[in-house]
Chains A and B, each alone.
Chain A
Amino acid sequence: MKSTLLWSGIASLAQLIWLVLAGPLALGLMRKVRSVIEGRDGARVTQPLRDLRKLAARQRTRPTDATWIFSAAPLVLVASALVLGALSPLASLHVLMSSRVDVVAVLFVLLLGSVALLLSALDTGTAFAGMGSSRAAMVGAMTEPALLVAILAMSLGAGTSNLARLVDAGVATSTLAGPARILALVSFFIAVLAETGRLPVDNPATHLELTMIHEAMILEYAGPDLALITWGESMRLVLLVGLFSNLALPWGIATSVGALSLGVGLLALTLKVAVVAIGVSLFEVTTAKLRLFRVPELLAGAFLLGVLSVISAVALR
């Protein structure tokens, strides 16, 4: 019993450290893939880590009218991502509290970070930040139905919304290609793209304030605060991509405790996340950003796929 707890702790810690590094590296990888396809060499994969290191050595700033919310938001964003990194089954099914963390909890802890950022933008008292906050809130509100219905469909198959058991159910079944599952995963994937501010919903590389969604919210942050936000956002991306790939292809995740299985789990996780990240950036290069008011159409489609998935889960059992 005691050793199980110890091993869960080690697994959580390993995941935490993995996430801290994997976030910026995934960002670097995605930029690299994009550059290569655009015909450039692009920055090194480790460049985001250098950026973070440099940002940490700069002075923090705050706008004149900002309150404690402005300075607390980056902390909340990163803290929520760290907690989920330690407690969700990414590399191992046996992490701390694995029997008590379910998908809904993960979703709402992520929301905690998003809300912190939405509020911090309004706290700056500038027009662009308010605009970004309003748009991000709209996209978030449209994403949630798709995400929740997709989660419901996946949970219906397993009879539970507990994350570890959901992933475990995926490990156990031989047929990965049930219609309910595929539909739910597609819906979930679109929602992940929207939630993490990737194309075609938001362009993370834009410099024009009027075309920004997420970027407009963080125009006021500098130095370590900006580093925290970039870092937190990248960890959220990796977290969601990791969860997605574990739900889609749970192979390789550690189902037993022990150093070897944990190592294999981390390796498999890294591979899966890298593949999905490369896929996402390939997709990003080939699509244009949607007009802001076409985004709800995309998300409504994802929602419909989720509903179809729920119905197939019920009809085809």
Chain B
Amino acid sequence: MTRLLALTVVAGLAAIAWGALSSRARVPLSALALVVSSAGAATLAVRVLATGTNFAWSQTNVLPLGGLDVRLTPLGALFVLVSAVVAIASSVYWTGYARHAMAGRSASASFALFTLSLLVVPMAGNVTTFLFAWELMALSSLILVAHDHARRPESISAARWYAVMTQGGAGAITLALVGLAAHAHSTRFSAIATASTHLSGAVASTFFLFALAGFASKAGVVPLHVWLPKAHAEAPGPVSALMSGAMVNLGVYGIILVGRTLLPQGPQWWWLVVSLLGGTTAAVGALYAATSRDLKRLLAYSTSDNMGLVLLALGASGLSLSTQHPRVASLALATAMVLLVNHSLFKSTLFLGAGAVHAATGSRNMDELGGLSRLMPLTSVTFLVGALAVSAIPPLNGFTGEWLLFQSLLHSLASHDVASVVAGTLAVAAMALTGGLTIIAFVKAFGITFLGRGRTERALGAHEATFSMRVAQGALALACVATGVVPYLLVGVVARGLAGVASPSISGWATLRLSSLSGALTPLFLSGALLGALALVAGWRTLVQRRHGFANVATLEAWGSGRHHQSPQMQYTATSYGEPILRVFDDVLRPDRDLDVSHVVESRYYLERIRYRASNEDVIERFLYRPALALLRAWARRVRVLANGSVHRYLAYGLAALVVILVILK
């Protein structure tokens, strides 16, 4: 197994080096190396999952403070496996995408570094290795977000937000982990976990909250999510797929690591907090996804939404654990993992599809697109699969996750504990609301972008993605279908991943059954029945058409109430599609609307033009971050008085500081 680790790291480093140095065949070769590296990591993870034993390797003299320490647990292996799958698809996709963008040296090297660090983070066995990999991941993705800064000024702003949030988060995580390590006198996670029993409640809670804040910001949890829609939207296609399909997962991994492994005896309120954060995140994410018109921004908010659902399951698991319902706790934890893996699969499919659309049309604004399904047939099918999966439509994989979540919440409500009941009811409400909003968001994303008629020249001039891009999208979409029809493929792997953390909670190959709780589902038979019924009805339709002598379907101009001219601009746009939701949730979203009517000079009864402007900026950014930033700026301006450029004044500050120190230390 050490050889596999070596293969992963060496191939990854080769990819970085080739990306940074070579000028010939830079992208294909470095992508090949990345595929090899990810395949190595995936094989390693599968071995760990299959045997159920940890894989450990360490090298103390590479890094200070405990050195490099790799300790791959089944849980970590689950995350490595998911990251590796997404990474392989993204790397293959990259070879085609590079014709459009992201072919430069810095971008290539950063992409390779990003991929490698994603694979290494869950392998970390001590604080030093973890933080080292975490920082590499943050920095390399930052470079990738900003890689197009010369052409797009927005990407600089996105990168700035991302940098601040990700470094702030990393700071909080560092504080928590280093604090824990200091208490345990060891940087090893295993030592921290055993030492944690001696930790006082308040200290443990402080560390947990710091870690939660840091990891939650990585997972896009409200109110620390503001970077996510910006960075995901600005990053190039394969990078946003990796970010959404692998990087945000690591935020959840961190929360499980700290909350369940390192500090296993946490009080109940930790998980109540997690639940509430999850519910809020899911609702806010879904609302903004339903009202966005930027395709990638929509996908990014939906990532927030899905991470919210994961946290709901995680919270329910923690709450059930503290109320002595271990079966429900195991079920909810398994649910969280299933939701997470599902999300990785369908969201990377969707982001790769969105990248293909962007590459083909140069636009992410759905109001400018339309009718792409005829020009990009395969991309449209894979995007549809992803969209239906995220909407939890059977028989795709999202449905299994949603069903499991409902079961977890149902059974967690069965306890008589107040916190569980309150959190459970809220969670079901949040889950149901986001379910409906997600359907709006993704019917819109697919329908407005791919169906109907092209709204602009850009949309009409689109072309299908290159072969390698199609392969990557198709493989991921197939994975969504396969894990949806036969959920055991997924549930079985998750059960092995949780082997050390929770007891097995779901069983059955064709039929999922909850162990010792009531509940069963059989997507395999259900999809069989659906297919059968579909064939039956299709047969009937063909038969009656033939019997009445109609050889073909009459293609007629779309019915527009007899008006003379129907232009593609008259179709509903993404903005108008989400408008009802914007109105219903007016009080929450507080959109800015502006109607400007100008009349012709001669008569007020004739209009010259009407201009309608609506902006739907993130309400948390507007009412939480902007005022905070303004305050900071005002404060900074006041402080500037202190620095007026006089050297004497600076020397005086130094003297004063010295005096103060002496007084304190006396």
Contacts and interface: CB of A to CB of B under 8 A. Distances in A.
Direct A–B contact in complex, judged by CB atoms less than 8 Å apart = yes
B576 A134 contact: yes
A162 B522 CA distance: 12
B571 A137 contact: no
Contacts of B374: 67
B572 interface: yes
A122 B432 contact: no
Contacts, number: 253
A284 interface: no
Interface in A109-168: 109, 111-112, 115, 118-119, 121-128, 130-131, 133-135, 137-138, 140-149, 152, 155-156, 159-162, 165
B443 A64 contact: no
Contacts of A224: 541, 544-545
Interface residues of B, number: 82
Contacts of B373: 67, 69
Contacts of A171: none
A310 B413 contact: yes
B409 interface: yes
Contact of B392 (A75, A108, A133): A108
Contact of A144 (B436, B520, B545, B578): B436
Contact of B541 (A115, A124, A228): A228
B624 interface: no
Nearest to B513: A100
B452 interface: yes
A76 B520 contact: no
A99 interface: yes
Contact size class for A? 35 or more
A296 interface: yes
B572 to A, nearest CB: 3
B584 A105 contact: no
A115 B137 CA distance: 38
B520 A99 contact: yes
Contacts of B550: 59-60
A141 B529 contact: no
Given A65-B371, A141-B290, A100 B580 contact: no
Contact of B425 (A115, A131, A310): A310
A64 B560 CA distance: 12
B440 interface: yes
Contacts of B545: 59-60, 224
Contact of B584 (A126, A127, A138): A138
Contacts of A61: 553-556
Nearest to B573: A130
Contacts of A124: 452, 558
A97 B522 CA distance: 9
Given A105-B403, A138-B584, A220 B371 contact: no
Contact of B559 (A65, A126, A131): A126
Contacts of B642: none
A123 B556 contact: no
B538 A130 contact: no
A209 interface: yes
Interface stretch (A40-48, A81-89, A272-280): A81-89
B558 A115 contact: no
Interface string B439-461: 11001101110011100000000
Contacts of A50: none
A245 to B, nearest CB: 23
A225 B561 CA distance: 20
A144 B433 contact: yes
Nearest to B542: A224
Contact of B537 (A65, A78, A109, A115): A78
Given A125-B453, A138-B580, 16 more contacts: A59-B550, A64-B556, A64-B558, A102-B521, A104-B402, A111-B392, A111-B439, A115-B388, A122-B447, A125-B371, A126-B566, A134-B580, A160-B518, A220-B559, A307-B425, A310-B425
25 contacts: A59-B550, A60-B541, A63-B557, A65-B371, A69-B451, A79-B537, A108-B394, A108-B402, A122-B451, A125-B370, A125-B452, A125-B558, A126-B560, A137-B440, A137-B444, A140-B439, A145-B433, A149-B429, A152-B428, A155-B410, A160-B518, A162-B518, A307-B429, A310-B413, A314-B416
Q: Which 3 A-B pairs have the closest CB atoms?
A: A130-B572, A141-B436, A122-B447
